[in-house]
Amino acid sequence: MVYSRWVLVRVEYLAPSLQFLTNACIVLFLIQSMDRLVLCLGCFWIRFKKIKPVPKGGGVVDLESTEKGFGFFPMVLVQIAMCNEKEVYQQSITVVCNLDWPKRKLLIQVLDDSDDPTTQLLIKEEVQKWQQEGANILYRHCIIRDGYKAGNLKSAMNCSYVRDYEFVAIFDAYFQPMPDFLKKIVPHFKDNEELGLVQARWSFVNKDENLLTRLQNINLAFHFEVEQQVNWIFINFFEFNGTAGLWRIKALEDAGGWLERTTVEDMDIAVRAHLHGWKFIFLNDVGEGGGELYM
């Protein structure tokens, strides 16, 4: 008697529900597969047509001519967001201080959100060392830590001297931009007042370390090579990856600045900037980073 009732429940209630869920999963799988297929076809089209962004005023800033009063040479603020980055803070600060950009046009903010006093002291000493060597670099630590990374960036953008700068480059502590990063990125903003963001592709120093890092690199390579690049070409929108990007400060201000309401502050600010009419450019051939994959 009990078994027959169980069979009845399975036939009349469980089986239809499971069949519905199975069909729903199949539909979602087909939609995702179609999405991936369209993205891959778009990537092949970009490769076939050799489409890539070309700055109106030339591909790389000529520092010598700029120092003589020619060329496009704006004020750039560089922000390094950190939080207990004891292992990588030194190399991160070092590579940013060696960016190939005249010091009088560059200010570096080390935004330390660490809660470990020892780490705070080490980072502060590293900043002081580079200050003694002539780098235009500042150390910032919020006593009241609020809003995680978004709160850290928001606090830094509220500094009075930020109004003197036109662009802000954002790096996470584990990223190591090449010295010519700004020379490759900045020219895209010349004579392009609608451009709000230029995002560079990530690269990794340990992508061939083991099977896990190779698989992670394949996954992230698809994200940049296919998703980001195709979305930029065909719909003029892609998500800001949170690092290795150069923002026009006016675009950030128009979008309302960084908001602590979300943990995906990079996507949030990109959506709001896009809704305000700002254009983006993704540079697939400018691999920036030197970050490390999890092993």
Contact 88, 119 (CB under 8 A): no
Rounded distance between C-alpha atoms, residue 8 and residue 19, angstroms: 16
Do the domain assignments include residue 14? no
The CATH number for 259's domain is 3.90.550.10
Domain enclosing residue 241, as ranges:
63-291
Give pLDDT, residue 292.
64
- Kindly state the average pLDDT of the residues 46-51: 93
Task: Give the pairing type, strands 245-248 and 167-172.
Answer: antiparallel
For 219, the 3-state DSSP assignment is: helix
- Residue 23 is predicted with a pLDDT of 96
Q: Return the pLDDT at 14.
A: 86
Question: Strands 76-82 and 167-172, how do they pair?
Answer: parallel
Does 20 fall in a domain? Answer: no
Domain membership flag for residue 215:
yes
The catalytic site residues sit at 113, 266
Total of domains in the chain: 1
User: Which tens digits make up the pLDDT trace of 164-187?
Assistant: 999 999 999 988 899 999 999 999
Please state the pTM of the whole predicted model.
0.88
pLDDT of residue 295: 55
What whole-number distance in Å separates Cα of residue 52 and Cα of residue 56? 13
User: What's the confidence (pLDDT) of residue 69?
Assistant: 46
Q: Which residue has the higher pLDDT, 50 or 205?
A: 50
Question: What is the structure's pLDDT at 256?
Answer: 95
For 248-270, the pLDDT digits (tens) are 999 999 999 999 888 899 999 99
The pLDDT of residue 286:
77
Write down the pLDDT at residue 258. 96
Mean pLDDT of 11-31: 92
For residue 187, being part of any structural domain is answered with yes
Chain centre distance of CA 245 = 5
User: Which whole number is the average pLDDT over 55-82?
Assistant: 72
Does some domain include residue 18?
no
Distance between CA atoms of residues 223 and 113, nearest Å: 29
Report whether pLDDT(58) > 80: no
> Is position 8 within any domain?
no
- So what's the pLDDT on residue 150? 92
- Is the pLDDT reported for residue 16 higher than 70? yes
Instruction: For residue range 105-151, list pLDDT tens digits in order.
Output: 999 999 999 999 999 999 999 999 999 999 999 999 987 778 889 99
pLDDT category of residue 43 using cuts at 50, 70 and 90:
very high
Does 106 fall in a domain?
yes
Residue 74 domain-assigned (yes or no): yes
Percentage of the residues of the chain whose pLDDT score is greater than 70: 92
